[in-house]
Amino acid sequence: MYRCLSCVIVANVCHRGFIQTFCAQKVNVFTQRKMKFLSKEQKLFYDENGYVVLDILSSAELEEISAEYDLIFRNKADQNLDATWQGSWNYTKDEGSNTVVQSIHGMQMHSAVFSRLLLHPRLLDACEDVMGTSNVLLHHTKAHLKPPGKGSPFPMHQDYHYFPFKNHSMVAVFFNLDDSFPENGGLCVYPGSHKLGPQEDVSDNPDYHYLNKDKFPLEAATPLTLKKGQVVIFSYLLVHGSYPNSSDRVRRMFLVQLRAAEDDPVEQVHRSACQGLVLRGVNARRDADITKRISGE
């Protein structure tokens, strides 16, 4: 059953022999968590819409990240980087087969610039505010580059289907490395769709997931026009996708997926480099059994 992030059970109180469960969203009897980065309005916007756009990076940080990003993609240009969506889905009958999106996973394994970014204090402050926990773990990272004129679209989907978790604590942190808009393959969302819970995956390919395009057409989604350097944090239940890049400008992004240490995967899938790395707080449930030291679990 879907468990809304904003309806986290916070206490069980015994009263006249009965156990009463209180929901933090409905009963204001507990001290609200103090925000570290987000304003009250930004937190309310996130809770209502499932995403929030933030300015986190300095111009110097953005320049360093952008330059390192380009260097890595140049150095890996002779490798297979094509991550164009597979399966029966196409943006139109005529588009999809001749487009491309380049992707590199585990960017922190290629450069310390991205390792440092994962520990960015303002970033983790914002993630604490959104996730409602001070114990933040890495799930994975990846970079997508849509080349000018032929960048692949991404169908409307939920990240949930790639790596489901029991309490839906997972968030995506989307670093926008170029000005982005629909014409150059920008991000689009269905605001508030995270409240619907997991939707039906209609993909015919087990490695790629997407939703019914009659129910969630790409054309009806809300485009996010973003400035270079802006960061979008969104729930992994938010229905989202992106347009083809038909412009003469590249669109680059870097994505980080994070989850709460208190949450558990529904199944062990999408194993990635440095998965489970503690970026902030502690992982009190981490197994210390010496016999499991090599497994990485």
For residue 178, the one-letter residue type is D
Element (H, E) at 251: strand 251-260
Element (H, E) at 43: helix 40-49
Q: Give the pLDDT of residue 64.
A: 98
Enumerate the β-bridge partners of residue 187: 242
Q: Give the pLDDT of residue 184.
A: 94
Best CA proximity match to 86, nearest among 99, 73, 75, 68: 99
| List of domains in the chain | 1-32 (no CATH), 39-292 (2.60.120.620)
Q: Give the pLDDT of residue 98.
A: 78
Q: Give the pLDDT of residue 84.
A: 81
Q: Give the pLDDT of residue 23.
A: 38
Q: Give the pLDDT of residue 32.
A: 67
Number of other residues whose CB lies within 10 A of the CB of residue 50: 25
Q: What is the pLDDT along the chain (297 residues), one digit of tens a residue?
A: 334 444 433 333 333 333 333 333 333 333 467 999 999 999 999 999 999 999 999 999 999 999 999 999 999 999 999 888 777 776 654 444 578 899 999 999 999 999 999 999 999 999 999 999 999 999 999 999 999 998 988 899 999 998 899 999 999 999 999 999 999 999 999 999 999 999 999 988 888 889 999 999 999 999 999 999 999 999 999 999 999 999 999 999 999 999 999 999 998 877 878 899 999 999 999 989 888 776 555
Q: What is the pTM of this model?
A: 0.85
Enumerate the β-bridge partners of residue 11: 22
Half-sphere exposure of 51 (CA within 13 A, CB side): 23
